[in-house]
Chains A and B, each alone.
Chain A
Amino acid sequence: MEIWNRHFECMDREELKGVQSERLRETVERVYFNVPYYRNKMQEAGLGPESIQTTDDLHKLPFTTKQDLRDNYPFGLFAVPMSEIVRVHASSGTTGKSTVVGYTRNDIATWSEVMARTLTCAGANRHDFIHVAYGYGLFTGGLGLHYGGEKIGASVIPVSGGNTFRQVQLLVDFGSTMLACTPSYALFIAEALEEAHIRRDDLKLRVGVFGAEPWTENMRREIEEKLRIKAIDIYGLSEVIGPGVASECLVQEGLHISEDHFYPEIIDPVTLEVLPEGKTGELVFTTITKEGLPLIRYRTRDLTRLRYDKCRCGRTMVRMEKCLGRSDDMLIIRGVNLFPSQVESVLLEMSEIKPHYLLIVDRVNNLDTLELKVEVDEEFFQDKISQLEGLRQKIQTNLESTLGLGIKVNLVEPRTLERSEGKAKRVIDKRKF
């Protein structure tokens, strides 16, 4: 397996810590002297640049949130004069003002570098044709993939989004080998291929890199079956840099974070305490090389967990699990944090059921109760009470051991649970009413 930057991606973890600490010191110093917002916050906390010597000191610093970016709209958190900024991207502001990010020439180089790692991680090289169907424009997806593709010397086809019929034609005519888009668009393309009666053998596609929205293992299987490609999960967010923050390698046991540029932490979203390795919580990033918009302890709201052991691909960079959802979705049941996606992953591992479920939280006599309704799958239904009862018991036992919470499982008839194309309703929390 190819590795783009062996020096950093396979670096001994002790040595890496040295690099990270040095870069963190420089970043903290830069934001302290160049961004009034950070200086004020640090002074309020009684901190100066010298307070942060190594990554072990990071926890002393205050968090940054999306709201902080909005409050300083558009350029208030930039750490360089505008004359140094060579590019600006912005996220769509669906829930308020958009967030604006700025890049210096070095930032663009860093971005290209981490995207080159991402694409190499997914098995791409200079011989590949990369069909980029991420949107080009204010959104970081298109240009991020584009620069990374050029950096590794692949042939980049900047198709951008829309006009699916034409996309399908180009996939065939150019013989693209790699598809880059959102996972939902990949399924859309798969359908369009079917409608256009294009045979799979007319395509040279072998792999896809998908991200920019949460997607389940179920969706991955569907994409892999329908397009007959390997579906690689990539992760990024524009505030941190865009795509390229982390990527799955071909081992597919987590996404390698380019942690020589983006230092990750996992925190409890309620207590804000840093959690130990392996615990699920909210992902927080500190950018340690960025110039235009350095971010200190930026709360992503994405839920995942980290593992630091060396990967079979040879990389030593920490791996994050496929994102489990958003911290806003977190439920607290009898003091235990629960994410609906944890329930889903338990169900996905059981072949007897489809992950069609509804989680109902209630409070009876001041005690939280948890109930799960799961649909009985026709393929498994065989007319025996003992078999159904056994299944119910098995689901309950598997969930209780994974979640560490008592749960009552009930079997329900198919399609009694609401189903929709986008986000199905998975949780009813009656405690709020």
Chain B
Amino acid sequence: MIIHQLSVFLENKSGRLTEVLETLGSENIRITALSVADTSEFGILRMIVSDPVRAKEVLKSRSFTVNLTEVISIMAPSEAKYYAKVLKILSDLDNSIEYTYAFSLGEKSVIILRCSNTEEAIRALKEHELELIKASDLYKL
């Protein structure tokens, strides 16, 4: 249930994001989800890709600072109350959410979550009968 998300350090200068995407494209690595967090000087690009391990190697060889980060992914109907439910379960556990992003897929949404205790979050979400997505399925989306 643990998803390996690709995190890339980026300076805020034009062309770097393009270079990452072109590099992955030329290696036939597909991107399922993407989000950028940034300050005025630098940013972190977070991506779910079809082959995180190979993607990391490829980007590293191009002199990018890359890391794999453990996140979890939930499939839920595209309604705000389901997103709220997920967040509530974790906050009740004092399991703090470092960041989250989501994208919709037809009637449903895929939520990506990074929290301080991944194992505990998986257990709790399962107990509440939420649908966690397996890594192999998510990478294929």
Residues of A within 8 A of B (CB): 376-378, 381-385, 388-389, 392, 410-416
Tell me whether B26 is interfacial, beta carbon within 8 Å.
no
| Chain B residues whose CB sits within 8 angstroms of the CB of A413 once the complex forms | 9-11, 16, 63-65
In whole Å, how far is B117's beta carbon from the nearest beta carbon of chain A?
A: 15
In whole Å, how far is A158's beta carbon from the nearest beta carbon of chain B?
A: 45
Structural contact, B7 and A383, CB atoms closer than 8 A: yes
Tell me whether B67 is interfacial, beta carbon within 8 Å.
yes
Q: How far is the CA of A412 from the CA of B64 in the complex (A)?
A: 10
> How does the 8 Å CB contact mask read for B102-117 relative to A, with 1 for contact and 0 for none?
0000000000001000
Indicate the member of A376, A413, A414 with the most B CB atoms within 10 Å. A413
> How does the 8 Å CB contact mask read for B1-45 relative to A, with 1 for contact and 0 for none?
000010101110000100000000000000000000111011010
Task: Pick the contact of B37: A385, A392, A412 (CB < 8 A).
Answer: A385
Structural contact, B39 and A376, CB atoms closer than 8 A: no
| Chain B residues whose CB sits within 8 angstroms of the CB of A389 once the complex forms | 39
Q: A376-B9, A413-B10, A416-B11 are in contact. Are A383 and B42 (CB under 8 A)?
A: no
Q: How far is the CA of A416 from the CA of B10 in the complex (A)?
A: 11
Structural contact, A412 and B11, CB atoms closer than 8 A: yes
Q: A383-B7, A383-B46, A416-B11 are in contact. Are A410 and B67 (CB under 8 A)?
A: no
Count, chain B residues at interface, CB 8 A = 22
Q: How far is the CA of A16 from the CA of B69 in the complex (A)?
A: 63
Which secondary structure dominates where chain A touches chain B?
loop
Tell me whether B90 is interfacial, beta carbon within 8 Å.
no
Structural contact, B65 and A378, CB atoms closer than 8 A: yes
Structural contact, B65 and A376, CB atoms closer than 8 A: yes
Could you show 5 A-B contacts with beta carbons less than 8 Å apart? Answer: A382-B69, A383-B5, A383-B7, A388-B44, A414-B63
In whole Å, how far is A410's beta carbon from the nearest beta carbon of chain B?
A: 5
| Chain A residues whose CB sits within 8 angstroms of the CB of B49 once the complex forms | none
Q: How far is the CA of A381 from the CA of B56 in the complex (A)?
A: 13
| Chain B residues whose CB sits within 8 angstroms of the CB of A416 once the complex forms | 11, 63
Q: How far is the CA of A381 from the CA of B6 in the complex (A)?
A: 12
| Chain A residues whose CB sits within 8 angstroms of the CB of B127 once the complex forms | none
Tell me whether B98 is interfacial, beta carbon within 8 Å.
yes
Q: How far is the CA of A406 from the CA of B18 in the complex (A)?
A: 34
| Chain B residues whose CB sits within 8 angstroms of the CB of A392 once the complex forms | 41
| Chain A residues whose CB sits within 8 angstroms of the CB of B37 once the complex forms | 385
Structural contact, A411 and B42, CB atoms closer than 8 A: yes
Structural contact, A385 and B9, CB atoms closer than 8 A: no
Closest CB pairs A-B (n = 7): A383-B7, A415-B63, A383-B69, A381-B65, A378-B65, A376-B65, A376-B9
Tell me whether B48 is interfacial, beta carbon within 8 Å.
no
Indicate the member of A377, A381, A383, A410 with the most B CB atoms within 10 Å. A383
